[in-house]
Amino acid sequence: MTSSRPRPDTSPDILVVDDEPDLCTLYELTLLREGYRVDTAANLQQARELLARKTYQAVITDMRLPDGLGIDLLREAVRQQRPERFMVITAYGSAENAVEALKAGAFDYLTKPVDLRQFRTSVASALASLPAPVDVLPGATAVLASGQGTSPTSPAASGAPGSAGAAMAPRGAGPSAAITTAGQEALARIVGASAVMVQVRQRIERVARSMAPVLIQGESGTGKELVARALHACSHRNGKPFVAVNCGAIPENLVEAEFFGVRKGAFTGATHDRPGYFQAAQGGTLFLDEIGDLPLSMQAKLLRAIQERQVRSLGATQEEPVDVRFVSATHKDLAQAVRNGLFRQDLFYRLNVIETRIPPLRERREDLPMLATALLERLCAEAGLPPVTLSESAREWLQEQPLPGNVRELENMLHRGLALCTGDTLEPLDLFEPGSGSVGTAPVHAAGTPLDAAPPAASAAPVQNGLTTGPRSLVAQLDHREYGFLSSLLEQHAGNVAVAALHIGLTEPQLRFRLERLGLHAA
């Protein structure tokens, strides 16, 4: 049961595999009207014969066929590194089959009975995601550009599940070959040369061009939103909105309105239509940060929106199609939350098609110098300051800190150091803030005394050529002299810190910081 209709050579080739003649004809006619060239097959054997003779841009296959499963055809194509985008048709409500297909490498899935508007848009989106230029007829391109004649309710167009990475780029070609300049810049902001961070960037490149929902796991402050933005920038949706939502920051009674929007008159005070996050992200990416904090009542509604690709605003009578890709993030163990009854299992499976874990800083200590340098450059540029560098002792001190807040804590520490330092080099004393509640250890003198206490006498370490010797002896010597200088300064100005600071060209907060770390008390 193979057929082919002649079309212009510029038309994409599509293979439809289905054992029901009526459905196969329906899919074929629908695609022919869109300007594609179509071949059909009734079983796996016929499909394999056609694939052996020809390369297609897309393959649409039913899950269950007389001689096997359509997913087997997909897996064979992945093993052979074929370039086709695969779409799998599954029975209605068969979430397990859909997720299995996506993880195997399918670009998208369709559920029976197939909505032809979704069908057309899904195919168009699959062709648009091909990294190599594909000659698509003007009418087919217009489907993506304007949505006329189709509905953006397709699983592909809506950011519903897609490829798990195997069908991202031409087989045998590096993933970066298809990444735009914006995508490369977004990847460059994920700093780190450690093996785990290299793997994170490679995974972003592989999965970005699919429609598969991505779940980003990582501790607070590891940069989950940065990864989500890189996924968006590396996808073919990078020209559309990226909408980030903190699911834990929305009052429970407002969650539905914030997500789905409100129609005028829906309740007292609703004086005009207001779009929700889904509408704001139309055509782009919806980033659901801290998804584990979403109330159970809203989880069921989110699941329906993901499955149906349609949402109903508060006060509306009709559902409207949505065209978004879902990226979620959490610092919680969602699998454990499912076991505890705090998170819906079906929603977890829908969101966790592709999982990406961001390691904490303690697992990639070798990245700290590079990361600190990059953060300092950005902070200086944002503040309009000349470049500032980290001293070697500051680098060593940072390596010793636990940094439970990860990159966010490191950035805050460097920001504070920039505000307090008076030169072009940050020292450990600039980074440490006594009494701040920091979990880290204070910089120490050579004798082991914390630098926020009174410095030891100059004789605390052996003296050679007028200078103390031993670890960090110069810092200890300088602190000893600074202690004496600031003591005399305070005595000279009767303990008035503001006047004393003005006298030596510092601000009052800067002087108070130095006094505090040295253990000097002033009015």
Residue 300 burial (CB count, 10 A):
13
As to burial, measured by CB atoms within 10 angstroms (0-12 exposed, 13-18 middle, 19+ buried), residue 373 is: middle
Distance (Å, rounded) from C-alpha 110 to C-alpha 425? 58
Distance (Å, rounded) from C-alpha 490 to C-alpha 323? 66
**Nearest Cα to Cα of residue 260 among 209, 189, 327, 308:** 308
Quick one: fold of 364-441? Helicase, Ruva Protein; domain 3 (1.10.8)
**Is the separation of the CB atoms in 120 and 176 below 8 Å?**
no
Tell me the pTM: 0.64
How much is the pLDDT for 353? 84
Locate the domains of the chain by residue range: 13-146, 175-359, 364-441, 444-523
How much is the pLDDT for 422? 78
As a whole number of Å, the end-to-end CA separation of the chain is: 93
How much is the pLDDT for 441? 55
How much is the pLDDT for 232? 94
CATH of domain 175-359: 3.40.50.300
Query: DSSP state, 522?
Result: -
**Is the separation of the CB atoms in 163 and 206 below 8 Å?**
no
How much is the pLDDT for 131? 63
How much is the pLDDT for 49? 93
Region for 290 from its dihedrals, namely left if φ exceeds 0, alpha if ψ lies in -120 to 50, beta otherwise: left
C-alpha dist (Å) from residue 27 to 12, 23, 37, 361, 441: 15, 6, 12, 51, 67
Where the chain has pLDDT below 70, the residues are 1-10, 92-95, 131-178, 433-477, 522-523
How much is the pLDDT for 470? 42
H or E element in which residue 409 lies? helix 406-420
Query: DSSP state, 339?
Result: H
Residue 520 Cα to chain centre, angstroms: 46
Quick one: fold of 13-146? Rossmann fold (3.40.50)
The tally of CA atoms less than 13 A away on the side-chain side of residue 336 is: 4
Fold match between 13-146 and 175-359?
yes
Count of all residues that appear for the chain in the document: 523
How much is the pLDDT for 266? 75
